[in-house]
Amino acid sequence: MTAAAPARQVFRLPDLGEGLTEAEIVEWKVAAGDTVEIDQIVVEVETAKAAVEVPVPYAGTVLVLHAEAGTVLDVGAPLIEVGPADATGATGATPGRDVHPAADRYREEEQAGSGNVLIGYGTDPATDPGRRRRSAPRPAEAAPVPAAPGHAPRVISPLVRRIAAEHGLDLAAVTPTGPRGVILRRDVEQAIAQETAPPAPAAAEPATLTTERIPLRGLRRAVADKLSRSRREIPDATTWVDVDATGLLAAKDALRRAHPGLGIGLLALLARICVDGLRRFPELNSSVDTDRAEIVRYGHVNLGFAAQTDRGLVVPVVRDAHLMTTAQLAAELARLTGLARSGSLPPQALTGGTFTLNNYGVFGVDGSTPIINHPEAALLGIGRIIDRPWVTGGAVTPRKVTQLSLAFDHRVCDGGAAGGFLRHVADLVEDPTILLANV
């Protein structure tokens, strides 16, 4: 009796929560032929909220990876296929394809440090800025030229490898454009086109700028959607004021000297000032429910703050900021900033804000007309703090001056409340000891 064919289990992209419908493959942690265990991390994906590591619910041998890095998959699309641990190319693998010998070859090439690595990564090309494209001689047989030791190219797709081999292209000379420095098919095709193109005339005109199309997806698309919705739905207004921040900087320095272990910085002090302002002017700690024609005024402050990362601008949320001391705010701001910069923020840390603080002064700019973080009703922006002439006691003296900008939803309040909040914040920036009087 002929034995039944081993079971093949297809794991599909799971629902990652928060209403997300798709994710982009960032990096595979396994290759065809690898043995995996239940709940082993097999792939890192990027959603509109954050980077997420996805575990596989099956144990066995990896038969197929259904998408290359850089591919956007819908929730429910095939992600990875796993067979029995003793599966071979003749049973359970794609017909005509022997999984294990190929996987063994990949590992041998990795250990030898050759340029023939299909799966697995060598040195990141980004760490070698001196590398440039160069033409590779066409060998008699279509085999790729080995890369320099320690500089194995990052290639995931066998198709990309085959195209390069057919054209005698040295993958070590190809500039990658994929996520994490992965060489994509378009990179190989562009390198081939450059090799086969006729040389430019000696007196050629200077090269013009090249039009580039960048897919709007992942975090960037989520940001674009939210900002577009804010501009479309919120009738916002902006008001601003210049303030003398000399007292605020002095308070920060005094706290650092007296309590160096607390790590209280400028952002934590500004956060504490915002919370105090929202207690006095709760109109700005709200949102508009258009379906029910209601203003929702919150009894808690979930303070969002803008953080620039390698993935773009994200807004982590400090929950229940109104219950925290300045030291606790500093600790939570530091924790969330670290997670944001490492790409480890969970999706829930990016939702539920009631007010946002944006310190764009770190970019060396004075002012801005910030876009409100929908569905919130207001956002406070802080410009750079620089020496400027300032009148104090009838005399012009140099002081540390900054500009505060408040963008607010005109549906939730009029200029009186917005101006009152901004003036209160400005007063606390100029004289932080007022906070002590209000305790």
Q: Tokens for 26? A: 């960032």
CA dihedral 375, 380, 381, 386 (to 10 degrees): -170
Strand ranges for 60-198 from DSSP E: 60-65, 72-74, 78-83
CA distance 332 to 428: 22
CA distance 42 to 38: 10
Burial (0-12, 13-18, 19+ Cβ within 10 Å), 296: middle
CA distance 292 to 235: 18
Residue of 66, 151, 410, 424 with catalytic role: 410
CA distance 9 to 14: 14
Burial 394-405 (b: 16+ CB within 10 A, else e): eeeeebbbbbbb
Q: Verify whether residue 259 is a known catalytic residue.
A: no
CA distance 208 to 267: 43
Grouping H, G, I as helix, E, B as strand and the rest as coil, residue 235 is: coil
Residues annotated as catalytic are 410
